[in-house]
Chain A
Amino acid sequence: MHDNEHASHHHEESFIRKYIFSLDHKMIGKQFLIYGLIMFFVGGGLALLFRWQLAYPEKPLPVIGASPQYLEEGEVVTGVDKMWERIYESEKEEWLEVNMPNGVIEPAFYNMLFTMHATIMVFFVVVPILVGAFGNFLIPLMIGTRDMAFPVLNMLSFWLAVVAAIVMAIGFFVPGGHAAAGWTGYAPLSSDPQWTGVDWGQNLWAISLLIQGFSSLVGSINYITTIINMRAPGMTFFRMPLVIWSLFIVAILLLLAFPVLSSALALLIFDRLAGTTFFTATAEGGGDPLLWQHLFWFFGHPEVYILILPGMGIASELIPVFSRKPVFGYRSMVYAMIAIAFLGWIVWGHHMFQSGMRPALGSAFMTTTMLIAVPSAIKTFNWLGTMFRGSIRFTTPMLHAIAFVSMFVIGGLSGIYMANTPVDIFIHDTYYIVAHIHYVVFGGSLFAIFGGIVFWFPKMYGRYMNDTLSKIHFWLTFAAFNCTFFPMHILGVGGHMRRISNPMQYEFLQTFEGMNIFITMSAFTLGFAQLILVFNFFWSIYRGKVAEKNPWHVNTLEWEAPTPVPHGNFGQIPTVYRGPYEYSVPGEEADWIPQAQPEHVPATSGD
């Protein structure tokens, strides 16, 4: 956790206090960012492994799969038939040999790969970066205070997340492998080891998520308290930047949603370890597998908005800045986010249309789900309205923000299709769903994350990221992303099920072989492009061009603080006089007016 924050004039802190068990919100934010980036590579790596399997089923992986047998004979005997014995005898054997005998991915290992890919990306990448990193770094700076309300809890939140990640990582190496019931952990697949052959992997999965739940809980208490109580003088709720609004709403969602998952995880752990039957139907007084789905999705759908709302917030910051125009419809943006957050609680059933739900109930969930299109469309049109006739500057953050909006539109529109129960019957559990979630979470959240990183990097580290590399990263990512995920819509409509390790086993999917190979190639390009980002990130921390205090000419308060931001953020707490998006105000000389700049007319003493 190095960085070159050579400022901090007064009271020099020890290395451990400053970089490891830091109480400073900016350092904790950076810790979360690096944590998220590391996990991003773990999660992405898993995805590349199973992408290989989908394109070249039963073929040894390149490089790591080159077994002696393959090198000699050019083909291998796979372990598919011997799968079950192998898993239970696994203690004796080498990890790679169990999961990838002769370099070929085992079906059971494949299940583990996609389960852990999603688990890691959702709980250990997107949430830690969007909420943990941006939330910590931005909230105190943007509302104009010196730190979070509870700095010790803030540190606790980060270190609990680290413990959760370690517990999750251990799961890869226990006998029986890691959780393999999908990231949704549907019972009874998850509640009884006999169905997946996974023993402690699934337990550790549940325990790790419980710990992550504590981390989120502590974090959200901190965020909500800070935003309610510690805004700078003059910073009313409706002068808060939209990204702070989004983080505020997300903190409330996390606070209220995660405990429901915790209750479900607790019941799951009891089922697995204490012999209860909450999720298993038994002859006498048995439980209900659907109960898991209800609890999980009651958490899971708000969670989906937890993943996207901060991305919307970040886009709402970047677009006005680089269009040099006020955000179009500030209040409607806020109300739209509140509406999305509220509707998020009453739509969980749309994940369960296939569960034998009463059709009338399905229609109710369909209606509430489609209602979400309204606030989402308000936001989209507002972003377009902000850009309309603006003097747009195509900087890298802006490119990412535009990519966010356009990809979010595609992901959002496919969502409306899936909300239709009759359509959902056809496309559920296919690659159409996979395409949708990736358009929203990768095309949406991750582009916002990339844009946010490039945008706030000068404030975080006092230097610019290298712009050429950033642009190469953007264009490669954008192209490879679309090449990877767009064809999945076609696969899905063609009936390609998700979560199958070998599509070539099905005659009607064999025509898709070429497309699967194309997707895999694009996915590898996409993975490669992310290496550029990481190289650029770490290189720029030390070698980037030194940035001035407010390089993008932004109004919000974080740019009032000196760069690099010292401990305590501001010399004197700024007073806020205006909203965050006063760009190109008619009659003004500069095309931006910082929030902390007093009114021109000094005659009256009012604020």
Chain B
Amino acid sequence: MSPDTPIGGTSAPDSPSEARPISNARLGILILLGAEMMLFSGLIGAFLVLRMGNITWPPPSHIDLRLPRAVTGINTVLLILSGYTMFQALRAIQKDRVKQLRNWLLLTGTLGLLFLVIQGGEWVQLVHNGLTLQSGVYGGIFYVLIGCHAVHVLGAVIWLLIVFGIAVAGRFSAVHHIGVETCTIYWIFVVALWPILYVLVYLL
């Protein structure tokens, strides 16, 4: 329970005698998610305010524009699937199955990248159709909100690659796998956030 052993060589050893109900690293990541939620609340709040403030949505200038609902729907399924595989990766290492961990991680990372590639493709298409960052608030908030999520997915993928590297090096075990655990928590947050954005931005 001490991947966070500080470089200064302090904290952990003889602090509280009783075992902690939750490790520092796990608690830290959960607290981080609180902040992430507020960041997205801010952006979603802005989205809603701008949306309510316009009589039509999309506004008259882009009234013909349709967001790619179907493709994004498939993309949504892919991302949710990656949440499942990530969870399986954690389950695997909890049972000390290192090889399975690696496979599940690889699958998760591939799904995450696939999500980003499909979304990137969509964006290229949308820009061709005339929806840019400068196309009023409609384009602006679309790219900022969805882009903010995409950046989080990218961050999660990079984190996952690091975890994968450590897994390949064989440094995780049933006892010691806090790295997988924190990454799973973060990954699942990013996955769980997406359906909300999909419904808000694409469907409604």
Contacts and interface: CB of A to CB of B under 8 A. Distances in A.
A146 interface: yes
Interface stretch (B117-125, B135-143, B168-176): B135-143
Given A146-B15, A278-B140, A285 B54 contact: yes
B156 to A, nearest CB: 17
B67 interface: no
Interface stretch (B38-46, B96-104, B181-189): B38-46
A23 B50 contact: no
A228 B25 CA distance: 12
Given A221-B28, A233-B16, A267-B46, A260 B34 contact: no
Contacts of B40: 263
A270 B140 contact: yes
B196 interface: no
Contacts of A275: 133-134
Given A24-B8, A270-B140, A278 B35 contact: no
Interface stretch (A61-69, A109-117, A148-156, A460-468): A148-156
A231 B41 CA distance: 32
Nearest to B17: A233
Where chain B touches its partner, the secondary structure class is helix
Contacts of B53: 287-288
Interface stretch (A83-91, A251-259, A471-479): A251-259
A37 B105 CA distance: 48
Contact of A291 (B4, B38, B49): B49
Nearest to B16: A233
B131 to A, nearest CB: 11
Interface residues of A, number: 55
A324 B21 CA distance: 37
A263 B18 contact: no
A224 B22 CA distance: 13
A194 interface: no
A202 interface: no
A149 B58 contact: no
A485 B59 CA distance: 49
B160 to A, nearest CB: 21
Interface in B36-81: 36, 38-43, 45-46, 49-50, 53-54, 58-62
Interface string A220-256: 1110110011111100000000000000000000011
Contacts of A288: 49-50, 53
B144 interface: yes
**Which one of B14, B27, B28 has the highest number of Cβ atoms from chain A below 10 Å of its Cβ?**
B28
Contact of A285 (B14, B27, B46, B58): B58
A224 B27 CA distance: 9
Contacts of B129: none
A522 interface: no
A149 B24 contact: yes
Interface string A133-169: 0000000000001111111100000000000000000
9 contacts: A147-B8, A149-B24, A151-B7, A221-B35, A224-B27, A230-B24, A266-B148, A278-B137, A295-B42
Given A151-B7, A230-B11, A266-B144, 17 more contacts: A24-B10, A146-B10, A150-B28, A221-B28, A225-B31, A229-B16, A231-B16, A255-B34, A260-B38, A263-B46, A276-B134, A276-B139, A284-B61, A285-B137, A287-B137, A291-B49, A567-B10
